[in-house]
Chain A
Amino acid sequence: MESAEIKLHLKVFFEEEFPNPGNTLTDDTNLLNDWFVDSFGIVNTTLFLEKKFGIEVCRADINANTFRSIESLSQYVAHQLKSINGS
């Protein structure tokens, strides 16, 4: 899956799950500080990643670096997909 496609899926997910009218969600928006992804949102996002992309999210990877932005999350997803496909 292309990076742009992963980002689009993530953007749709965050805009639906965490609607923030009048504000624009970009690839670099800080999800934890400038959007309002709370601890329950982190759990839901983890479950979404596992279901949508068929990856396994190692619990140690659920951290502030991975969950910083759509950019960092998409890189994480791409990396996990690559290791599944073995390429």
Chain B
Amino acid sequence: MQNLAIEYLQNSKNKFPDKTALVDDGQGITFNRLWDNSLALAYWINTEFHITNQPISVNLPKSIDAVIALLAIQLSGNIYVPLDIDTPAKRKEKILEVLGSDLMLELIEGKFSLSGKILSNSYENTVEIESSVLEKLSTRKPKDPLYIIFTSGTTGTPKGVTISNASVIDYIDWAVETYKVTEAEIIGNQAPLFFDNSVLDLYLTFAKGCTLHLFPRDVLRFPAEFGTYISNHKINFIFFVPSLLSNLVALEIFKDYDLACLKKILFAGESMPLNTLKLLRSGFPSALLSNLYGPTEITVDAIYWVCEGNIENLNEVPLGKPCDNHQVIFLDEEEKPVTTPDKIAEICISGPGVALGYWKDAATTRGVFISNPESGKQDETIYKTGDLGYQSSKDGLIYMTGRKDNQFKHYGYRIEAGEIENALNQFEFILQSCVLYDSQKKRIMAFYTAGKLESSPPFRNLLSGILPQYMIPHSFHQLDQFPTTQNGKVDHKILREKIMGPKNGIR
């Protein structure tokens, strides 16, 4: 029985010591080296800091060193927190405040540093180090937290989703089985480490002894670079956000490059447009295509669908059915279970993937991690996703229809409109603001009312000190006044219709 997620790597380095585990920018590292380097860093954390079960943030660009940092922190019995290195300092400060810890792992002149101390020793006696680190780790339990990933919060303060070792093990074991993952897999990683889709790439690699390529940035921006990289390195497995796949199919990438090696294409993070799916299917007729769904709070994914058979009759891409050991419960606005097929209600999830909650935020946790209202199941915790959907009476599959609040997905990033509005409202000249998302054009639009302005304010410059780049609106529109509902709130529906014309549905 596996207790901790790190045991995946321990087993694989015994089986495949000299196999390449990770490749970044042409540099590779074997399983053995990855293990030894992570142990050495963990040993240093243990001997210098004497801490257990504390969050340690990782402020590094995606790299082999960043992966070593995540491994070392868990080996030291602590909780890793991957940060977006490009996020503004103010937002990082908010995250450290929520964590209640300023322990931050960084690189200074090529050396690991934690809160001002620099790792300068090189440890030769790996046997002694290993036994010391593993002995301390032996008291750690499956339900202990493995990582904290921060997501956008409506009030402007990000929320720290806390995930246990047991949740990751349940998810990875399911994925290995479902996608028949073996050591032959060569995985291409798109997701940043602070986005939980990367959990699948990393832990499948550790679990089965695969090889993981961390894609250089231009590979994801330029289709030609993507095509060349995939075919040169024989990448056969990718887990992408649909937007990037849409870009590739829009430029008919598979016509110019030999991508026949790509055999398993998984996607999640936002809705997959049906047209993109059809183009993918025609470009990759024999590849496994699978749509996955899940907020960070249920450990990457809880619902999945494998695209098989004739897809011509589909009207939209289904989310699918629950992953093993998970259940989907639909709740109405009064949190009563809805069992009628085709009836739209809130998608709620129970199972081993459900997070431990939001780090040090019991009130927000209580609001969305609730006791299962189904009879006889009150001991079970379910997570209310805020997503609306239904189970179809035609095929029994789950479909998503929208959100019950103002959250949206942009390139797979989950964004609360409230976080952007909050940032805008900090500027003195803004009277009121409202943020909408145009999912067709993939654009965040900000609307505001203000006093008399001489010229349009340099919004992008102003916001780049507060928000990460992916949250900065694409356009800014000054209004004389906002349309309001009867109770005086901004009427999103009317605003949306005014800007984008009628029939523009969900955010």
Contacts and interface: CB of A to CB of B under 8 A. Distances in A.
Contacts of B225: 63
B460 interface: yes
Secondary structure call for the B interface: helix
A42 B220 CA distance: 11
Interface stretch (A4-12, A16-24, A79-87): A16-24
B459 A43 contact: no
B251 A22 contact: no
Q: How large is the interface on A (under 10, 10 to 19, 20 to 34, 35 or more residues)?
A: 20 to 34
B224 A21 contact: no
Contact of A22 (B224, B257, B459, B469): B459
B111 interface: no
Interface in A10-40: 18-23, 32, 36, 38-40
A1 interface: no
Given A22-B458, A22-B459, A59-B253, A64 B243 contact: no
A23 B221 contact: no
Interface string A55-66: 000011111100
Interface residues of B, number: 31
Given A18-B474, A59-B253, A63-B224, A43 B460 contact: no
A64 B227 CA distance: 15
B442 interface: yes
B120 interface: no
A19 B222 CA distance: 22
B459 A40 contact: no
DSSP class of A's interface residues: helix, strand, loop or mixed?
loop
Nearest to B249: A43
Contact of A43 (B251, B458, B474): B251
Given A23-B461, A40-B243, A59-B251, A64 B222 contact: yes
B472 interface: yes
A72 to B, nearest CB: 14
Given A22-B456, A59-B251, A39 B461 contact: no
Interface in B240-278: 243-244, 247, 250-253, 256-257
A75 interface: no
Nearest to A37: B221
Contact of B222 (A22, A40, A47, A62): A62
A49 B90 CA distance: 39
B442 A36 contact: no
B251 A36 contact: no
Contact of A19 (B218, B469, B475): B475
B227 to A, nearest CB: 7
A64 B218 contact: yes
Contacts of B243: 39-40
Given A22-B461, A23-B461, A36-B460, A43 B250 contact: yes
B476 A21 contact: yes
Contacts of B458: 21-23
Given A39-B243, A59-B257, 4 more contacts: A23-B460, A43-B247, A46-B251, A62-B223
17 contacts: A19-B475, A21-B456, A21-B457, A22-B455, A22-B458, A32-B221, A36-B472, A38-B221, A38-B411, A39-B220, A39-B221, A39-B243, A43-B247, A62-B224, A63-B218, A63-B224, A64-B222
Interface of A: 18-23, 32, 36, 38-40, 42-43, 46-47, 59-64, 67
